[in-house]
Amino acid sequence: MTRQTWIDRRDAVSVVRQCVLAGVSRATIYARQKPGPVDESNLLLSRLIDEEYTRHPFYGSRKMVVFLKVAGHTVNRKRVQGLMRQMGLAGMAPGPNTSRPHPEHKIYPYLLRGVPVIRPDQVWGTDITHIRLARGFAYLVAIIDWYSRRVLSWRISNSMDAVFCVDCLEEALRCHGRPAIFNSDQGSQFTGIAFTSVLKREDVVISMDGRGRAFDNIFVERLWRNVKHEDVYLKGYASMSELTIGLAEYFAFYNGERPHQSLGHQTPDVVYRTARGGGAEIVDKFPRAVEDCPVPLRSTGQSSTATAPTQAETTPGQRRAAANEVECTA
């Protein structure tokens, strides 16, 4: 018997409260429901809201109501709030901290404000976004290298549990070595022991965005914009299997064929591989000489120096990546 079977919709205690007490994700419970008739009007509104939010992630429900009205859809704010809540959308503007982290989850400080990113594998970042399917949502997590914008690993799931995030992290570490710093938001998937223990095992410094500060992880936010506008919205995936195939094709294109202006019109693959080998000339967003970059240590609060490894120096993670080179080329 699994914990999901403990949930009884006929009980006087709400499903939300039962999920909290049982320690299970509500998404996994809702996913077990038999699919009902699709509300076409909600599908249309969700798509419009999703597209507008991707263009203007600082929009809250009030601005979204105005946008929909201009687009010819007069809906009240309560309905918009419900759809945005269902999709996990909220404006980027900082607001009052009304939520509290799980008492067992440590929240780490944001370490990257004003820090120049001067080499591959100095900083990795991650985030989760939703993708609307014909029925329900899929959740996409990806890990990218901030310096090269390369997508190092990704996973999709029909629930927001931590398992697919941990799997994504383990794949990135196995295939690409380890970063000096790993940045995420304060979502429970990333603050939980299952996720942070993997980073501690690899001696990776943990950084987390300030609550409500999505711009602290702007490179991943830009990735979501590109994924949705260049692929998801154009293809309208109906199922998880279609989405898996489509995203695999898109990320192969994104890494290996799509040039980035901020990378001197080179691809993430080229910048990631050649810069780490010491032979690339790229347009750096930070106009300063390559030099040692101080990285705060978790244990002492003092500074250490994270310099780019030479060809003769490799981290244990990089040696492990070399051993799996054939398996991890995709």
Helix, strand, coil % in the chain, rounded to nearest 5: 45, 15, 45
3-state secondary structure of 182: strand
CATH superfamily of 123-323: Ribonuclease H-like superfamily/Ribonuclease H (3.30.420.10)
pLDDT above 80 for 79: yes
133/6 Cα distance (integer angstroms): 28
- Please give the model's pTM, rounded to 2 decimal places: 0.62
Residue extents of the structural domains in the chain = 1-34, 42-92, 123-323
Instruction: Determine the pLDDT at residue 114.
Output: 83
Give the amino acid at 180. A
pLDDT category, 265, cuts 50, 70, 90?
A: confident
pLDDT above 50 for 122: yes
Whether the CA torsion 171, 172, 176, 181 is positive or negative: it is negative
pLDDT category, 243, cuts 50, 70, 90?
A: very high
3-state secondary structure of 278: coil
- Alpha helices, DSSP H, located in 39-135: 40-55, 61-70, 77-87
Give the amino acid at 244. T
165 closest CA partner among 25, 3, 319: 25
The H or E element containing residue 174 is: helix 163-176
pLDDT category, 7, cuts 50, 70, 90?
A: low
What one-character DSSP code corresponds to residue 266? B
Both tokens of residue 186?
Answer: 């304060």
Instruction: Determine the pLDDT at residue 242.
Output: 95
Quote the mean pLDDT of the chain. 75
177/174 Cα distance (integer angstroms): 6
**pLDDT tens string 273-329:** 987 533 223 333 434 333 334 443 333 333 333 333 333 333 434 434 433 343 575
Residue with the bigger pLDDT between 313 and 60: it is: 60
263/149 Cα distance (integer angstroms): 9
202/72 Cα distance (integer angstroms): 52
Which range is most confident: 5-19, 100-114, 150-164, 294-308?
Answer: 150-164
Strands 293-296 and 303-306: antiparallel
pLDDT above 80 for 81: yes
HEC readout, 102-169: CCCCCCCCCCCCCCCCCCCCCEEEEEEEEEECCCCEEEEEEEEECCCCCEEEEEEECCCCCHHHHHHH
pLDDT above 50 for 96: no
94/151 Cα distance (integer angstroms): 28
Instruction: Determine the pLDDT at residue 304.
Output: 36
For the ranges 22-26, 256-260, 316-320, which has the lowest average pLDDT?
316-320
Instruction: Determine the pLDDT at residue 154.
Output: 98
HSE of 164, CA atoms in CB hemisphere, 13 A:
16
pLDDT above 80 for 32: no
Please answer whether residues 248 and 145 qualify as being in contact, where contact means their C-beta atoms are separated by less than 8 angstroms. Answer: no
pLDDT category, 103, cuts 50, 70, 90?
A: low
